[in-house]
């Protein structure tokens, strides 16, 4: 069901804003709306615009609590803003020497890593880099050449230039190396090398020995720096752990204060006439039950003035949707939210989905043993991981177990227990006809829900003339009854019902638009282009008639999957040699596991498809706005 909402406005002195937010908005579930938008007809309203003074403190406290061994970011009480700021600033000051040392070490490590990256590709050069750098009459150039130019490059260099190129390494893209030239020809040859796509890399005079020796020497220095950094981190953690409780509370405090401060974005300010005092206005939606508690508490607060709608929420204001269902049905809200939340004035289909989904799943996947496995496995997974899908699987498993008893099937064995109803493999037509009959019942139920939704929204055209309204329901019910009479050998009553009830409902559906305009007392009943209207409506009506047929036949898949499950388990029994008396246990085990996993997944998807396309499309729009409590947002941010 959908909780009833009231629109609430909270007003008081601007200076008392933070106290009100802490006392009321963190206690009651209130969906905040933008006061400037909701109260746009009021005069003298302006934004509640102030810079958040807690952002810098939050940044500091987050950096500090990350260094704690076991940070707990929640508390039962709050510090004052001044106390929280003092704790955070004191912690930062206490770590100033260690932070300075940490920065210096990181800077050194960065420099060494840069040196390492520069020398890495030249490690195969077996010559002292320092001596190369200090050559007087020979110039050198470290660099790289792309592979696509290297063949042409090497041929031209050795045939035409007074130079030597020494290849050091190849990777996926480049050939790395060094070339030597006489000092007096360096400028000319450098230009030629550049034209041959040689990219020069300048190495600083900071290396000792050969590139390989320098590489290992730098790696050792980086290791030493990392060890020093680890010691610094340990000292930081040790100092912070001594004040961990105060620091956690300070962080929680500034987080709450910052979050509360952000409520100003949703609030508005106004001045009292003839006075300089500024008042804030907060508005939003609150449940009917919570509104009574909040109003009672606010009566004793001289600085707070609360106003709610006298009655329940007006649908024209677009109240948010807050679902409230039995605990056993609550996991199925996941399916509802996937499709779209119901509008405030729609029927909540959660219970409908929970019951129909579980029953259909059970019909399609009826087996006592596999059903019990789904029940236990889903329940355990829900208890450990709190997954809604696991709870859905567990409840669906209950109905799989029930229909397993009705079918007389336990892990595919159909002789262990007697079927209470029937065996699908031995009663194929009965299963298929029953599946279609059950589908007819669900379609009619979906039509009734559409009529209820139409009454709730006072959309009388939808109630009376829609394909899923009263006209559509009469036509579909008459069609089903007529077919039932004809197929049971009584054609005369079937023909009479068909003649009486087919014409009028179809005419009502055909003229839905003009009839709705008449009910709404519009001046223009028919659209301007009447010929186009009749043509479009004719083809739409033809499509509607076709959809009645296809939607009904679609429920054959319920029976088909029941037969498919029985057939697949028969194959498993055959492969396991169950008919010989002593079945192959591993084959039996893995066969059941395969069928339960593969078919369970397919059945779950197919049932959801039936819910969405064959039932939801008839009565449900899913255009609701989710109820988002400020209190829950705050709690989620701080967990």
Enumerate the domain spans of the chain: 5-48+267-317, 113-220
Q: Locate tokens 């605990």: which residue?
A: 327
CATH-assigned architecture of domain 5-48+267-317: 2-Layer Sandwich (3.30)
Q: Locate tokens 């907060």: which residue?
A: 282
Q: Locate tokens 């029994």: which residue?
A: 573
Q: What is the pTM of this model?
A: 0.72
- Round to whole Å and give the CA distance between 472 and 411: 43
Show the tokens assigned to 489: 């050998």
Closest CA to 284 of 324, 258, 255, 318: 318
Give the HSE-up count for residue 126: Cα atoms under 13 Å, Cβ half-sphere.
Answer: 0
Contacts of 74 (CB under 8 A, 6+ apart): 252, 638, 639
Are the CB atoms for 241 and 68 separated by under 8 Å?
yes
Closest CA to 39 of 307, 382, 315: 307
pLDDT for residue 240? 84
Q: Torsion angle, CA of 202/204/205/207, rounded to 10 degrees? A: -100
Question: What secondary structure letter does DSSP report for 504?
Answer: H
Are the CB atoms for 218 and 35 separated by under 8 Å?
no
Query: Could you say which of 3.40.50.300, 3.30.70.2750, 3.30.43.10, 3.10.450.50 is the CATH number of the domain covering 113-220?
Result: 3.30.70.2750
- Round to whole Å and give the CA distance between 579 and 466: 56
Residues of the chain with pLDDT under 70: 41-43, 69-76, 158-160, 273-275, 310-316, 494, 499-501, 634-639
pLDDT for residue 10? 92
Q: How far apart are the first and last CA of the chain?
A: 29
- Round to whole Å and give the CA distance between 147 and 114: 25
Helix and strand totals (H; E) in the chain: 25, 10
Closest CA to 66 of 226, 236, 232: 236
Are the CB atoms for 307 and 8 separated by under 8 Å?
yes
- Round to whole Å and give the CA distance between 166 and 593: 64
591-620 per-residue burial string, b: 16 or more CB within 10 A, e: under 16: bbeebbeebbeebbebbbebbbebbbebbb
Show the tokens assigned to 215: 């590489």
Show the tokens assigned to 245: 């409780």
**Do 113-220 and 5-48+267-317 fall under one CATH topology?**
yes
- Round to whole Å and give the CA distance between 399 and 364: 10
- Round to whole Å and give the CA distance between 310 and 330: 30
Do the bridges between strand 278-287 and strand 30-33 make them parallel or antiparallel, or are there none, so unpaired?
Answer: antiparallel
For 588, other C-beta atoms within 10 Å of its C-beta total: 19
Contacts of 341 (CB under 8 A, 6+ apart): 321, 323, 622, 623, 624, 625, 626
pLDDT for residue 639? 46
Show the tokens assigned to 169: 């390494």
51, burial (CB in 10 Å: exposed 0-12, middle 13-18, buried 19+): exposed
Q: How do residues 115-171 score in pLDDT, each as one tens digit?
A: 888 888 888 888 887 778 777 788 888 899 888 888 777 777 766 677 888 888 888
pLDDT for residue 223? 92
What's the 3-state SS for 536-594? HHHHHHHHHHHHHHHHHHHCHHHHHHHHHHHHHHHHHHHHHCHHHCCCCHHHHHHHHHH
Are the CB atoms for 594 and 287 separated by under 8 Å?
no
């Amino acid at each position: 069901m959908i909780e009833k909402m009231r629109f609430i406005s909270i007003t008081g002195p601007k200076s008392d804003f933070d106290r009100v937010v802490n006392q009321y908005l963190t206690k009651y579930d209130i969906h905040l709306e933008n006061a400037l938008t909701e109260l746009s007809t009021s005069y003298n309203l302006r934004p509640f615009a102030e810079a958040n003074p807690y952002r810098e403190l939050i940044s500091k406290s987050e950096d500090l609590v990350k260094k704690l061994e076991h940070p707990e970011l929640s508390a039962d009480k709050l510090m004052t803003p001044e106390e929280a700021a003092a704790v955070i600033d004191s912690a930062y000051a206490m770590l100033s020497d260690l932070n300075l040392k940490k920065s210096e070490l990181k800077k050194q490590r960065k420099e060494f890593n840069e040196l390492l990256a520069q020398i890495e590709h030249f490690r195969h050069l077996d010559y002292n880099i320092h001596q190369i750098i200090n050559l007087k009459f020979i110039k050198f150039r470290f660099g790289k050449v792309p592979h696509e130019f290297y063949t042409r490059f090497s041929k031209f260099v050795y045939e035409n230039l007074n130079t030597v190129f020494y290849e050091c390494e190849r990777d996926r893209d480049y050939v790395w190396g060094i070339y030597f030239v006489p000092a007096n020809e360096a400028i000319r040859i450098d230009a030629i090398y550049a034209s041959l796509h040689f990219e020069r890399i300048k190495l600083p005079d900071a290396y000792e020995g050969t590139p390989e020796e320098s590489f290992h020497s730098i790696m050792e220095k980086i290791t030493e720096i990392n060890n020093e950094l680890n010691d610094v981190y340990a000292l930081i953690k040790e100092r912070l752990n001594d004040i961990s409780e105060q620091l956690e509370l300070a962080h929680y405090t500034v987080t709450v204060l910052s979050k509360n401060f952000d409520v100003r974005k949703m609030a508005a300010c106004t001045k009292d006439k003839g006075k300089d005092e500024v008042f804030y206005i907060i508005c939003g939606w609150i449940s009917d039950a919570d509104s009574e508690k909040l109003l009672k508490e606010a009566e004793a607060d001289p600085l707070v003035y609360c106003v709610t709608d006298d009655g329940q929420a007006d649908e024209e204001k677009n109240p948010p949707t807050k679902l409230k269902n039995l605990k056993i049905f609550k996991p199925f809200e996941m399916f509802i939210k996937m499709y779209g939340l119901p509008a405030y004035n729609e029927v909540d289909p959660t219970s409908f989905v929970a019951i129909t989904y579980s029953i259909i799943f059970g019909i399609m996947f009826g087996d006592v043993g596999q059903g019990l496995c789904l029940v236990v496995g889903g329940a355990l997974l829900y208890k450990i991981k709190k997954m809604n899908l696991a709870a859905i699987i567990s409840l669906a498993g209950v109905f799989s177990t029930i229909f397993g008893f009705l079918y007389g099937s336990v892990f595919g064995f159909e002789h262990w227990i007697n079927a209470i109803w029937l065996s699908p493999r031995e009663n194929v037509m009965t299963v298929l006809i029953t599946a279609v009959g059950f589908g007819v019942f669900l379609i009619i139920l979906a039509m009734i829900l559409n009529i209820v939704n139409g009454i709730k929204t006072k959309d009388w055209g939808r109630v009376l003339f829609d394909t899923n309204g009263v006209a559509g329901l009469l036509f579909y019910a008459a069609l089903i009854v007529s077919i039932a009479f004809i197929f049971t050998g009584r054609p005369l009553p079937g023909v009479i019902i068909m003649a009486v009830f087919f014409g009028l409902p179809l005419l009502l559906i055909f003229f839905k638009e003009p009839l709705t305009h008449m009910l709404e007392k519009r001046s223009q009943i028919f659209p301007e282009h009447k010929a186009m209207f009749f043509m479009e409506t004719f083809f739409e009506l033809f499509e509607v008639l076709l959809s009645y047929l296809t939607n009904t036949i679609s429920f054959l898949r319920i029976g088909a999957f029941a037969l498919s499950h029985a057939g697949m388990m028969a194959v498993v029994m055959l492969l396991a040699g169950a008919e010989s008396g002593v079945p192959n246990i591993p084959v039996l085990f893995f066969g059941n596991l395969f069928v339960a996993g593969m078919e369970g997944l397919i059945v779950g998807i197919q049932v959801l498809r039936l819910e969405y396309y064959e039932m939801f499309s008839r009565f449900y729009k899913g255009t609701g706005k989710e109820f988002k409590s400020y209190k829950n947002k705050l709690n989620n941010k701080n967990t």
